[in-house]
Structure 1
Amino acid sequence: MDLTQIGYFSKTHGVKGHLIIRVDKPFFTDDLKAVFIESPTGKAPYFVSEVKDATNGLILCFEEITSVEKAKTFIGKAVFIDSGLVDEEEQEFDWIGYEVIDKNFGVLGFINSISDNGHQTLLSIEHKGKEVLLPLVEDFIEKLDEENKKLLFNAPEGLIDLYLQDTGEEEDL
């Protein structure tokens, strides 16, 4: 069976061991019978008894998890399902792991997360211990090399410097 990561468990819900999953990829919940969670011996199946909508994800009820204490051990863990249940039409391009090379600044690092602030999609890159957020805007993309997972970027002047400047010192005015 081919598995795809669809999100992660963000917190518990209620007192009966239910968990909230933050969903990264849309999938067909009607056919969901089991999810798979990483364990020391591989991905272990957990059988779903109920799926409910929540404002911050989906609430999953499991046959095997019946207490909050047991559910807490799953918080933060990645959730996988059968790839056949993933809604391919709405699946977005996965930018995670792409190396970002700015036209003027050079190599910035690898994309470690993506967020959407409601106005635009932001790529998060850690460069020299600092987070750099770049707007994923078509006009700023010089070239996308999918084979080598490289994104050639042309950030607006001063944007990258804004994130990298030392904020611990006050400037004399």
Structure 2
Amino acid sequence: MKKEDCFYLGKIVKKYSFKGEVLAKLDTDEPDIYENLDAIFLELRNNLVPFFIESSQLHKSELLRIKFEDVDEEADADAIMKSGLYLPLDLLPKLEGDKFYFHEVIGFTVEDVNFGTVGIIKAINDSTAQSLFEIDRDGIEILIPMNDEFINKVDRKNKTIIVDTPEGLIDLYLEE
């Protein structure tokens, strides 16, 4: 399984018991839908390795307590500590309407109701307080905040996102 065919679910953050159980912090708004998985991929030395899950349950709402098959003692748990957890993209719940996954909109065209076609989304920058669309307009990078007030419509069929940005925002990037 290749990493680009998967989505990041979370990370193993600490050991839970001396029997090899671990706690994983999940990067999701709905951790309960991942409570009964059979298997998951762990990122070990830059490879995704499948691990089978013996049991799992939510622990303090945002952590998932996991007992993997063949991880039976502390040393086994140490070996997988801080590993990223990944699942195949087809296991992502489908989103409706104007909600979307970041990876899903890469390559979409952004159109502003006043400005017109802005460009193509090449990445999402989520390292700042507010996530940003990184848009390529003929080699010029334009950043638009992913603010619910700015996003009018997500048109999956035509791979377009319609935005209504404050006047002058896009022009800031185009002035010489």
So what's the TM-score if we normalise by structure 2?
A: 0.55
Deviation at residue 20 of structure 1 after TM alignment: 0.8
Question: How do 1:41-120 and structure 2 match up within 5 A?
Answer: 44-54=50-60, 56-65=62-71, 66=73, 67-72=76-81, 74-75=83-84, 77-80=85-88, 83=91, 93-96=99-102, 97-98=104-105, 99-103=108-112, 104=115, 106-107=118-119, 109-110=121-122, 112=124
Deviation at residue 82 of structure 1 after TM alignment: 9.0
**Mapped partners of 1:87, 1:144: distance in 2:** 17
Deviation at residue 106 of structure 1 after TM alignment: 0.9
Deviation at residue 149 of structure 1 after TM alignment: 2.1
Which of the residues 147, 155, 160 maps onto 1:145?
Answer: 155
Deviation at residue 152 of structure 1 after TM alignment: 1.9
Q: Which runs of 5+ in 1 are unaligned?
A: 166-173
Q: Which runs of 5+ in 2 are unaligned?
A: 1-5
Deviation at residue 135 of structure 1 after TM alignment: 0.2
Q: Which runs of 4+ in 1 moved over 6 A?
A: 38-43, 86-90
**Deviations along 1:129-156, whole A, 9 cap, x unmatched?**
786422023x641x43211321121212
Give the RMSD, CA atoms, in angstroms: 4.4
Report the equivalent of 2:22: 18
**Mapped partners of 2:133, 2:95: distance in 1:** 27
So what's the TM-score if we normalise by structure 1?
A: 0.56
| Aligned-partner SS, 1:69 | helix
| Aligned-partner SS, 2:78 | helix
Aligned residue pairs total 148
What's the % identity of the aligned pairs? 14
Distance 1:156 1:12, change over 3 A: same
